[in-house]
A and B are shown apart, each in its own frame.
Chain A
Amino acid sequence: MNASLDHIHFLLRRLHSLFGLIPIGAFLTFHLWENSQSRFGADHYNLEVVSALQEMNYLPFIELFVIALPLLLHAAYGLAISGQMRAELSRYPYARNRFYWLQRISGIGILAFLLFHVGTTRIQGLWQPAVRDDLYGHMQTLLTDPLVFGLYTLGLLLSVFHLVNGLSTMAIVWGLTTSAQAQRLFGYLCIGLGLLLGAIGIHGLLGFLP
């Protein structure tokens, strides 16, 4: 009998780790880049960016099996294991300990944000064709509300943090970075990536404002 197939625990953890990067992290990066094109205006965004995606072949399969299902598995398993945390932030005020805590808290925050975000865009678009046809206008109406804009900014920053911090710990989990120096340098690289993705995301959000 294959030993690591016995160790479903190990495979689940590694699958959870992998899904965070591929496809979810890759999708988030694509999603932020795609929506950063909001700055080119309603016509370009609706006709070039959104409709090109909507007309993709096999789109529902991609949405279900490449985005939704891995995301649900990642979230469900993450929630299941987050109960193990007993963070003592004041006793151990180190950056990695704070990131460890925020990784779990942000996961829960992102889940709440995604219910709202996907619910008011993709799901609402299922029965309101107007949302699909003029996504730019729909997003503009949503984001003009300062509360929604604040929620989106928070959701965006939490997601970017969760991705890049996850990436830096993933490198340790899989054994890419072993020495303290390698872990530190890769951490800085992840911070740089996070700043870049955050900037692209905020740029995209601002592009929807009138």
Chain B
Amino acid sequence: MKEWIHLRIRRQDGPETPPYWQTFRLPYAPDQNVVSVLMCLRENPMTTDGRQVEPVAWDHNCMEEVCGSCAMSINGVPRPSCSALIDDLEQPIVLEPLPKFPVVRDLLVDRARMDAGLRRVKAWIEIDGIWDIHEGAPRISPAEWSASYLYSRCMSCGCCMAACPQFGPQSDFIGPAPLAQVRLMNAHPTGRYDKTERLHRIMASGGLSDCGNAQNCVRVCPKEIPLTTAIGELGRQTTLQSLKDLFGQG
């Protein structure tokens, strides 16, 4: 029976200040996850060598792996901390901010780039226009629905982008998550109206063709979204789109 939970946390006081490491030790309790342990730590933030320090800042919300806000690097792998169970993790548990995203403080990162990517690819469906475009309920076959449902589970946690070797400050690649939303929105009966525009947006610099097919994204995605299938399907859609652009509509 374990007595302690050992944590090693990479801390940073502000966006511009250098990071540093601190270790913590908390009494073991069964069925904890990383978020609940961080909550316990917040009550008495004392390092292993007995120093009282500022509580660790991190982001969390739903506690059921649907909001995506608590993603961080846990033992080197990006994943949501609410679904990272202490009993499954090797100790000391090494917590770092989600890689590739700018640190705000401690384990709190700025995921504005995720939002910018979703905005850029028009990851929504226009339901209002100057005329009514909603003629009855859009029909989707059960097969199409179940394929698209996989992509609708994306919670914008950013793990796929953190694991992507092409994504980061060195490039303007939008990353796998916004691309998967193009796959989802382009399949929707109403979303299809903007398919061409979405495809043109991902055909520009930083879009689909900046993917290097390392396929780490699909390995780390906590929602098991078939990101590489989305990328292949968008490859086909952009191939056809470029033929239409070059030779005219078919």
Interface size on B, residues (CB 8 A): 43
Chain B residues within 8 Å of A178, by CB: 229, 232-233, 235-236
Q: Are B203 and A183 in contact (CB-based, < 8 A)? A: no
Residue of A2, A84, A172 touching B210 (CB-CB under 8 A) = A84
Chain B residues within 8 Å of A91, by CB: 76-77
Verify if A129 is at the interface (C-beta below 8 Å from B): no
Given A7-B203, A94-B216, A97-B165, decide whether A180 and B238 contact each other with a Cβ distance below 8 A: no
Given A91-B76, A92-B219, A173-B235, decide whether A7 and B229 contact each other with a Cβ distance below 8 A: no
- Measured between C-beta atoms, what is the minimum distance from B202 to chain A in Å? 9
Q: Are A2 and B245 in contact (CB-based, < 8 A)? A: yes
Q: Are B200 and A100 in contact (CB-based, < 8 A)? A: no
Verify if A57 is at the interface (C-beta below 8 Å from B): no
- Measured between C-beta atoms, what is the minimum distance from B240 to chain A in Å? 8
- Measured between C-beta atoms, what is the minimum distance from A176 to chain B in Å? 8
Mask of A168-207 contacts with B, CB within 8 angstroms, 1/0: 0100111111111011000000000000000000000000
Q: Are A4 and B203 in contact (CB-based, < 8 A)? A: yes
Q: Are B236 and A174 in contact (CB-based, < 8 A)? A: yes
Q: How far is the CA of A175 from the CA of B205 in the complex (A)?
A: 19
Inter-chain contact total with CB atoms closer than 8 Å: 116
Chain A residues within 8 Å of B211, by CB: 173
Interface size on A, residues (CB 8 A): 35
Q: Are B228 and A183 in contact (CB-based, < 8 A)? A: yes
Q: Are B245 and A180 in contact (CB-based, < 8 A)? A: no
Verify if A56 is at the interface (C-beta below 8 Å from B): no
Given A10-B209, A183-B228, decide whether A175 and B246 contact each other with a Cβ distance below 8 A: no
Chain B residues within 8 Å of A14, by CB: 209, 239, 242
Q: Are A96 and B77 in contact (CB-based, < 8 A)? A: no
Interface centre among A3, A94, A174, A182 (most CB of B within 10 A): A3
Hey, which bits of chain A sit against chain B, CB under 8 A? 2-5, 7, 9-11, 13-14, 83-88, 91-92, 94, 96-97, 100-101, 169, 172-180, 182-183
User: What 4 pairs across the A-B complex have the smallest Cβ distances?
Assistant: A175-B236, A4-B245, A178-B232, A100-B214
- A sample of 17 more A-B contacts (CB under 8 A), given A172-B231, A180-B226, is A5-B245, A7-B203, A10-B209, A10-B238, A85-B165, A86-B168, A86-B170, A92-B220, A96-B214, A96-B216, A97-B216, A100-B214, A101-B214, A169-B213, A175-B239, A180-B228, A180-B229
- What are 5 A-B interface contacts by the 8 Å CB criterion? A4-B245, A84-B166, A96-B216, A169-B212, A175-B236
